[in-house]
Amino acid sequence: MAAKGKVKGVIANLVIVEATEAISQNEICYIAVGDRRLMAEVIKVIGTNVYVQVFESTRGMRVGDQVEFAGHLLEVTLGPGILSKNYDGLQNDLDKMHGVFLKRGEYTFPLDEDKLWDFKPLAKAGDPVEAGSWLGEVDENYQPHKIMVPFVFEGSYTVKKVAEAGQYTISDQIAVLTDKDGQEIPVTMMQKWPVKRAIKAYREKPRPFKLLETGVRTIDTVNPIAEGGTGFIPGPFGTGKTVLQHAISKQAEADIVIIAACGERANEVVEIFTEFPELDDPHTGRKLMERTTIIANTSNMPVAAREASVYTAMTLAEYYRAMGLRVLLMADSTSRWAQALREMSNRLEELPGPDAFPMDLSAVIANFYARAGYVYLNNGATGSITFIGTVSPAGGNLKEPVTESTKKAARCFFALQQSRADGKRYPAINPIDSYSKYLEYPEFQDYIAQRVDGEWVGKVNELKRMLQRGLEVSEQMNILGDDGVPLDYHFTFWKAEVIDFVILQQDAFDKIDAVTPLERQEYMVNKVLEICHSDFAFDSFTEVGPYFKRVIHLLRQMNYSEFQSEKFNDYEQELREIVFEAVN
């Protein structure tokens, strides 16, 4: 019988409940407000006082309202039919809801209970299995969706029987397992899992070592991220966080894309809803939305649901990783999630940390980022979750607590710079402040050497040194004037500009330049370094600027041309001629 209680106090969406029985941390409860039952989560228990965060507006809630505890934690429903769905932070199917505004207390089932799926068995009677083992598969939007032994099962089991190939709903029995005592356990295509607990249905979780190719040059070339790695994109408003996320989602080498809009402005979330269904998938030739799931929790929704949305998204990602798929998880913006944590911490009157954020903010963020990763499953297959979050620091201050805490957890730091965005230098990632710690790992270096060039890491570091030196020279030229510095300074400045315009900047609206394969990136980096290593012979600084503008123009035209096409080769030949003239 479910435990019960009654409302003792209401502080916005923090409600104090007097419980009659023992209650678990993170347990779900429902509070009766009129004819509505509002969902809430237990966040603190002190004696008989239970503090819960309500995922809805608490307007009209009164002391004495009845509370019923569900007996389970905040959980999601896992099974075929998750792809192409638009969920809220509690995994309610938004497309099943009616009206312009979401109604309080309205919850919808996340999957289609009536749809028939073409099931194909993978296991057979007598096979030993454990949590996460593959029993069969169905085709979900052209993705091999594995039907697995529920993750809540502990120990080893034996398959007694598996359903024959055919059409079944998610509620139909597709297998029967027996435990060590011989007890029979039926299995369907559907299972549930608490979102705050990581799914660990894998044998090993090594340090990520494979490059995740995104097609964005300033990431792949200068600060690469690994498949199964973590990164974050901080930047002030208007610097291109959302557009960059869209580009990565569309182009990255991933099987599944999950977008978590945790507290973003409603108009930006609407853009995701309207734009993603129209985006063509360059990998499949179909629509990107076929292999995408959107978790939407806008800034005008209750703050408690922001926390739920990021955990829901990560749990869905772990589910698909256990199928041996490569998952790309994008969260926009984790700052809103941190603000929700701060709000609830303040209402609980906990000891505040910097800027009134919780004292354990760094630990909460680190634990969440740690759920991403590259894994070897129990059957030898591999799967991965690559997590990239965005941070919206107030006033663009990258020293604020959320950014600093995230820097400790994430391995890649892609800092968007206001001055680059104002100068229309997109993507506006600052190449000097940004970094990728994966470049320091020997296994990642070895993988890069196999994919492109054994000297690739050295070349990347050389590009960064030239950019740093170019920035220093630029500052001196601004102070002393063009005629107040040696001629070498002008060469240094313009060589850095060549790297910036040709390698770092990219046109997201050009069909060819929008996505650059790694082999092409390698070719253009070698071409740019060849020019930067050349000793040019000019008598006056007035000749340097116009000459390098011609060089930049030709290199950019190469970026806009099909790789190794006739037009591409013509531009390269013209470039070769003007470089030859200037160095002799």
In a domain, 223, yes or no: yes
pLDDT of residue 273: 78
SS3 annotation, 499-549: HHHHHHCCCCCCCCCCCCCHHHHHHHHHHHHHHHCCCCCCCCHHHHHHHHH
**pLDDT for the residue 307:** 86
For tokens 């990239």, the residue is 388
Tell me: do 126 and 225 sit in the same domain: no
Closest CA to 371 of 219, 202, 503: 202
Are 295 and 405 members of one domain?
A: yes
Instruction: Tell me how far apart the alpha carbons of residues 171 and 190 are, in angstroms, rounded to a whole number.
Output: 7
How many C-beta atoms surround the C-beta of residue 544 within 10 A?
Answer: 19
Query: Residue 204: which residues within 8 A CB-CB, separation 6 or more?
Result: 375, 376
Domain identity same for 230 and 271: yes
Contacts of 362 (CB under 8 A, 6+ apart): 405, 408, 409
Whether residues 401 and 538 fall in one domain: no
In a domain? residue 559: yes
Tokens found for residue 46: 């002190």
Residues whose CB falls within 8 Å of the CB of residue 499, separated by 6 or more in sequence, listed in order: 463, 466, 467, 470, 528, 532
Q: In terms of domains, do 285 and 356 share one?
A: yes
Instruction: Let me know: does 383 contact 254? Beta carbons within 8 Å.
Output: no
Position 195 in a domain: no
DSSP code for 356? G
Instruction: With both helix axes pointing from N to C terminus, report the angle between 334-347 and 401-409 in degrees, rounded to the nearest 10.
Output: 120
Alpha-carbon separation of residue 185 from 181, 226, 319, 441, 482 (angstroms): 11, 40, 21, 45, 80
Is 312 annotated as belonging to a binding site? no
Residue 449 lies in a domain: no
> Are 523 and 474 in a shared domain?
yes
Q: Which of 271, 316, 305, 338 is nearest to 102 (CA)?
A: 305
For residue 369, being part of any structural domain is answered with yes
| Calpha distance 65→6 (Å, rounded) | 5
From first to last of its 584 residues, the chain has per-residue pLDDT tens of: 689 999 999 998 999 999 989 999 999 999 999 999 999 999 999 999 999 999 988 999 999 999 999 999 999 999 999 999 999 889 999 899 887 777 888 999 999 999 999 999 999 999 999 999 999 999 999 999 999 999 999 999 999 999 999 999 999 999 999 999 999 999 999 999 999 999 999 999 999 999 999 999 999 999 999 999 999 999 888 898 888 988 898 899 999 999 998 877 766 777 777 877 788 888 888 888 999 999 988 766 677 788 899 999 999 999 999 999 999 999 988 998 998 899 999 999 999 999 999 999 999 999 999 999 999 999 999 999 999 999 988 878 889 999 999 999 999 999 999 999 999 999 999 999 999 999 999 999 999 999 988 889 999 999 999 999 999 999 999 999 999 999 999 999 999 999 999 999 999 889 999 999 999 999 999 999 999 999 998 989 999 999 999 999 999 999 999 999 999 999 999 999 999 988 86
Q: Any binding-site annotation on 237?
A: yes
* 149, two tokens: 């032994």
Shared domain check, 273 and 165 = no
The answer to whether residue 149 is domain-embedded is: yes
Q: Is 180 marked as binding a ligand? A: no
Name the residue type at position 304: A
Burial class of 570 by CB neighbour count within 10 A (0 to 12, 13 to 18, 19+): middle
| Claim to verify: residue 347 and residue 243 sit in the same structural domain | yes
pLDDT at 299: 65
Would you state the structure tokens that stand for residue 285, as one six-digit string?
Answer: 């030739």
**How many residues are recorded in the chain?**
584
On whether 242 is known to bind a ligand per the annotation, the reply is yes
C-beta of residue 390 within 8 angstroms of C-beta of residue 331: yes
Using the Cα atoms of residue 438, residue 442, residue 446 and residue 452 in order, give the sign of their dihedral: positive
- For residue 384, CA distances in Å to 221, 367, 445 come to 21, 17, 19
412 phi and psi, to 5 degrees?
-120, 140
64 is in an annotated binding site: no
What is the crossing angle of helices 541-559 and 518-532, to 10°?
Answer: 170
Domain shared by 421 and 463, yes or no = no
Strand order in the sheet with 157-162: 128-129, 157-162, 173-178, 184-188
534: domain CATH number is: 1.10.1140.10
Annotated binding residue 236: yes
Same domain, 253 and 292: yes
CATH of the domain at 341: 3.40.50.300
Is residue 363 domain-shared with residue 492, that is, in the same domain?
no
Q: How many domains does the chain have?
A: 4
Which letter does DSSP use for residue 182 in this model? -
238 appears as a binding residue in the annotation: yes
Residue range of the domain that includes 516: 456-583
Closest CA to 201 of 242, 168, 152: 152
**Is residue 207 situated within a structural domain?**
no
> Residue ranges of the alpha helices (H) in 289-360?
304-321, 334-347
Q: Say yes or no: 159 and 257 in one domain.
A: no
240 is in an annotated binding site: yes
Q: Is residue 36 part of a domain?
A: yes
CATH code, domain carrying 185 = 2.40.50.100
